Chain A
Amino acid sequence: MGRLFAIEIIYRGIFQKTMAGRLSRAIVLAAHHEGKVGISFGRYGDSPERNGIPAKGFAIVATDEQTLQEGMAKYEPKEVDVTICVDDTLCKGVESWAWYGLQPVNRLLKPGGTLIVTSREGPEAIIAMAHRKDTPYQLSILKGTVSFSGLWVYKDDHTDVRILGAVAKILPELFSLKSVQRAIVDEWHDELKATSAAKAYDRTTSITVTPDQGNPEVPYKFDLPKWHEMGEGIAIPSIPAGHKMDDPKSHAEGGFQPDRNPTFLKFSTRTMRPVVNFDTCIKCTLCWLQCPDSCFDVTPEGLYDANMKACCGCGVCEAVCPVKECVTMVNETEFKGNDSQWEDWRKDKDGYKVWLEEKIKHPPERSHGFRYRGQYEEQIPEMLEIAQEK
């Protein structure tokens, strides 16, 4: 048997689909320049993709055809040499819409394998988000604003080639910088992109993450029922309507909290989350009406609390709220838990105010997604600057 290489690309559905496809293609093409064979594919269960829902692509490369078949005889490799995570918020876990539970971002990494993450954060923040792993692995951060675009429009900000340069550094047995540059020029006819790859190659470093580092939580999962345990007729019981809410302080009952799907939690689908200023809310109901995922719990006093089990981070609530800075979308990397903001506010209004100000007045730059026309043009100089930081 020859040598088998597996590279996993974890990305945000639709927004990063084109980039993920370009990466896995270029990896195979670059390895082919060194006489290797390979395949590039997306995990079919993630398709058809949905906006922002975590999804995966793979490049499987081998030194010969037979070895490649060993790698092809499964939908998803059991272990990979490199995991490329093109959005740092995915380090909190990957819950595909295909109902696999929450997978740690580093789940498939071989012992000693490398997790490449594109991020503006430092290693501490990334390590804290990722679940703990039994074996040590390497972490390599590709500094930069996370690259998001649409299904039809590609933002060619060189994230793709910079990652390819990093892969050449991390896994020289797969392909050399020279081969990947050849593949880049063949594929995209752009010498500048080849130069970007070389720069990233020079700058790429990695650190070791040990088993005692990372998020200690056990990711939630569930067992699939046997065929005779399943209900018949492809009918599933609906989620019950909901119930009244309980005020943590006064224990007044009231309002309404809809029940939610217990097996598809949206913790990993968002790149940002709304923070609500309950002191300035005028109870206009717009956020509650317009939220596409019915996230807002109605509190006993008629306030609207965005429930983080359901929020996909679309930003509609921020857009419709008529009160300035009453709903503000904040980078998801800023948050640890998923607790109710309203409960925190009820328990300690002053403390909440400080917390809120800190989140919205000194926010870490919200680095994901498209919010207004001209945003990308504005970001380009800044992105260039970050990309060139050592």
Chain B
Amino acid sequence: MAVATVIEEQKDKLDKTALITGSEAIAVACQLADVDVITAYPIRPYDTVMQYVCKLVANGEMDCEYIVAEGEHSQFEIVKHASACGARVFCGSSGVGWMYAMEALTVTPALRIPMIAMVGNRALDDPGAFGVEHNDALAVRDLGWQLVWVDNAQEALDTALIAYRVAEDRRIFLPLAISCDGAFLTHSQALVKIPSQEKVNEFLPQYNRGDLLLHPDNPITVAPQGNEDWVMEIRRQNYAAMERSPGVIREAYADFERIFGRSYGNPFFEEYMTDDADIVLMGMGTLSISVKVAIREMRKQGKRVGFVRMRWFRPFAAEELSKSLQRFAAVGVIDRDYSFGSPYAGGVLAGEVRHALYPGPGKKPPVVGFICGLGGREVTVPDVQKMAEAVYNAADGKKQPLTQWIGLRE
């Protein structure tokens, strides 16, 4: 680690600790995963990862094809093709850069390409803004991408390794995007344990594209034209792959724990102080920090509030989540995104949570939605307290809007 500041040699002498950003943590994961082809095109805040990979390559610490494309669309197309030819790939983008690649993003899942991308979550233009919103990554939520949100640099590194393991599993072969909140995660350095290469090798098998390998020795045609006689069957195959994804994710986390000795508990969502909670808040990404602090404050005042942080948005662990949420008197969902004109004018996650609860059986706790922290605005501890109040009101059956804007000047 020439660039990362190695500050401590662990007992297990091959593991190291470094002070690095979330983006750098993902770059280190790419190095450990021995990624073959990486494409880059600069846009904040994703560009931190490309800069770091670039340094690793320049310093001779990483061996890969590093291609700077002329735009995001080419960036994603290049790795799509490389992956079809059997290369382990990585790329990523942010905000409108991700949207500029949309056509390439759309075709990737149907071709069963296990592309790993990092989304440095950023508000979509206009106005041009660098701060975090989740609408960029969420734009592909219906298209066959697996989507995961992380909230710290260690989790970013670990999840990137897990991502390769899951996406490149022959049962899945679907792309996967790791969302890292712009600035809060991409630009702040934290202490991260870097696992040894041996452990990573044990955890992560080679990418084997098998019969789908595009190679002169395995002549195939990929992506021909198809009419109404074919499209539905192809979509059904993608459903089947996504249906298998939760099982493969579970296997990967279990193996991760066995090999690296670090556990994430339930892979799909993290629960914080929910055991005795009356109500819970939910959200994705780094807002978890202020929510946890606020919960500890509120608990001092006797308010038993818990937190559920969604990691995996696709696949969405609906049954498991609804079972868990049924324990609480009410649920508040914090969305760092928007969905104009959606049911109850809410955010994307709130809609998904209500959807997950709907079929039952069992009780359906009221769900209050919050739009908060847009464009990178800070989600403050008082904001969280205000949201908890609203969730208590919902639990008491008080009439109030189903979606509330928090932290807005009004």
Structural contact, B236 and A232, CB atoms closer than 8 A: no
A354 at the interface (CB under 8 A from B): no
Structural contact, A233 and B173, CB atoms closer than 8 A: yes
B223 at the interface (CB under 8 A from A): yes
Chain B residues with CB below 8 A from A237, complex form: 219-220
Candidates A99, A234, A238; contact of B219 at CB < 8 Å: A238
Smallest CB separation, B77 vs chain A (Å): 16
Residue of B nearest to A100 (CB): B229
Structural contact, A98 and B229, CB atoms closer than 8 A: yes
Candidates B110, B214, B220, B237; contact of A227 at CB < 8 Å: B237
Structural contact, A234 and B233, CB atoms closer than 8 A: no
Structural contact, A230 and B233, CB atoms closer than 8 A: yes
Structural contact, A99 and B227, CB atoms closer than 8 A: yes
Chain B residues with CB below 8 A from A224, complex form: 229-230
Chain A residues with CB below 8 A from B111, complex form: 233-235
Give the distance in Å from the alpha carbon of A44 to the alpha carbon of B221 in the complex.
24
Chain B residues with CB below 8 A from A98, complex form: 227, 229
Chain A residues with CB below 8 A from B173, complex form: 232-233
Structural contact, A233 and B212, CB atoms closer than 8 A: yes
Convert B73-117 into 0s and 1s, putting 1 for each residue whose CB lies closer than 8 angstroms to a CB of A.
Answer: 000000000000000000000000000000000000011110000
Query: Restricting to A209-266, which residues have a CB under 8 Å from any CB of B?
Result: 224-228, 230-238
Smallest CB separation, A365 vs chain B (Å): 36
B222 at the interface (CB under 8 A from A): yes
Give the distance in Å from the alpha carbon of A271 to the alpha carbon of B232 in the complex.
34
B276 at the interface (CB under 8 A from A): no
Known contacts A99-B227, A224-B229, A233 near B222 by CB under 8 Å: yes
Give the distance in Å from the alpha carbon of A227 to the alpha carbon of B222 in the complex.
17
Convert A88-132 into 0s and 1s, putting 1 for each residue whose CB lies closer than 8 angstroms to a CB of B.
Answer: 000000000011000000000000000000000000000000000
Smallest CB separation, A219 vs chain B (Å): 18
Convert B226-267 into 0s and 1s, putting 1 for each residue whose CB lies closer than 8 angstroms to a CB of A.
Answer: 111110111011001100000000000000000000000000
B211 at the interface (CB under 8 A from A): yes
A292 at the interface (CB under 8 A from B): no
Smallest CB separation, A130 vs chain B (Å): 25
B127 at the interface (CB under 8 A from A): no
B60 at the interface (CB under 8 A from A): no
Residue of B nearest to A75 (CB): B228
Known contacts A238-B219, A238-B220, A238-B221, A230 near B228 by CB under 8 Å: no
Smallest CB separation, B324 vs chain A (Å): 33
Give the distance in Å from the alpha carbon of A234 to the alpha carbon of B220 in the complex.
10
Candidates A45, A225, A226, A235; contact of B220 at CB < 8 Å: A235
Interface residues of A, count at CB 8 A? 19
Known contacts A45-B228, A226-B233, A232 near B219 by CB under 8 Å: no
Smallest CB separation, A69 vs chain B (Å): 20
Query: Restricting to A45-60, which residues have a CB under 8 Å from any CB of B?
Result: 45
Residue of A nearest to B222 (CB): A235
Query: Restricting to A67-91, which residues have a CB under 8 Å from any CB of B?
Result: 75
Chain A residues with CB below 8 A from B212, complex form: 232-233, 235
Residue of B nearest to A234 (CB): B223
Chain A residues with CB below 8 A from B397, complex form: none
Known contacts A227-B236, A238-B220, A232 near B112 by CB under 8 Å: yes
Give the distance in Å from the alpha carbon of A237 to the alpha carbon of B219 in the complex.
6
Residue of A nearest to B228 (CB): A45
Query: Restricting to B107-146, which residues have a CB under 8 Å from any CB of A?
Result: 110-113
Candidates A75, A225, A232, A234; contact of B226 at CB < 8 Å: A234
Structural contact, B227 and A234, CB atoms closer than 8 A: no
Residue of B nearest to A227 (CB): B233
Residue of B nearest to A237 (CB): B220
Chain B residues with CB below 8 A from A230, complex form: 233-234, 237
Chain A residues with CB below 8 A from B241, complex form: 232
Structural contact, A236 and B221, CB atoms closer than 8 A: yes
Smallest CB separation, B169 vs chain A (Å): 13
Residue of A nearest to B110 (CB): A234
Give the distance in Å from the alpha carbon of A285 to the alpha carbon of B229 in the complex.
39
Give the distance in Å from the alpha carbon of A237 to the alpha carbon of B230 in the complex.
16
Query: Restricting to B191-229, which residues have a CB under 8 Å from any CB of A?
Result: 211-212, 214, 219-224, 226-229
Give the distance in Å from the alpha carbon of A224 to the alpha carbon of B113 in the complex.
25
Give the distance in Å from the alpha carbon of A342 to the alpha carbon of B140 in the complex.
56
Give the distance in Å from the alpha carbon of A228 to the alpha carbon of B237 in the complex.
7
Structural contact, A45 and B233, CB atoms closer than 8 A: no
Structural contact, A235 and B221, CB atoms closer than 8 A: yes
Chain A residues with CB below 8 A from B221, complex form: 235-236, 238
Give the distance in Å from the alpha carbon of A232 to the alpha carbon of B172 in the complex.
11
Known contacts A45-B227, A226-B233, A231 near B211 by CB under 8 Å: yes
Give the distance in Å from the alpha carbon of A297 to the alpha carbon of B62 in the complex.
51
Chain B residues with CB below 8 A from A75, complex form: 228
Smallest CB separation, A9 vs chain B (Å): 20
Residue of A nearest to B235 (CB): A227
Chain B residues with CB below 8 A from A228, complex form: 237, 240
Smallest CB separation, B398 vs chain A (Å): 49
Give the distance in Å from the alpha carbon of A228 to the alpha carbon of B241 in the complex.
11
Chain A residues with CB below 8 A from B211, complex form: 231, 235
Chain A residues with CB below 8 A from B227, complex form: 45, 98-99
Smallest CB separation, A226 vs chain B (Å): 7
Structural contact, A233 and B112, CB atoms closer than 8 A: yes
Smallest CB separation, A239 vs chain B (Å): 8
Residue of A nearest to B226 (CB): A234
Give the distance in Å from the alpha carbon of A234 to the alpha carbon of B110 in the complex.
7
Known contacts A227-B236, A230-B237, A231-B211, A236 near B229 by CB under 8 Å: no
> Which 6 pairs, one residue from A and one from B, show the smallest C-beta to C-beta distance?
A233-B112, A238-B219, A227-B233, A227-B236, A235-B220, A233-B212
Q: List 19 A-B contacts (CB under 8 A).
A: A98-B227, A98-B229, A99-B227, A225-B233, A227-B232, A227-B233, A227-B237, A230-B234, A232-B112, A232-B237, A233-B113, A233-B222, A234-B110, A234-B226, A235-B111, A235-B211, A235-B222, A235-B223, A236-B221
Query: 18 new A-B pairs (CB below 8 Å) besides A224-B229, A234-B224, A235-B223?
Result: A45-B227, A98-B227, A224-B230, A227-B234, A228-B237, A228-B240, A231-B211, A232-B112, A232-B173, A233-B112, A233-B212, A234-B112, A234-B223, A234-B226, A235-B111, A235-B222, A236-B224, A238-B220
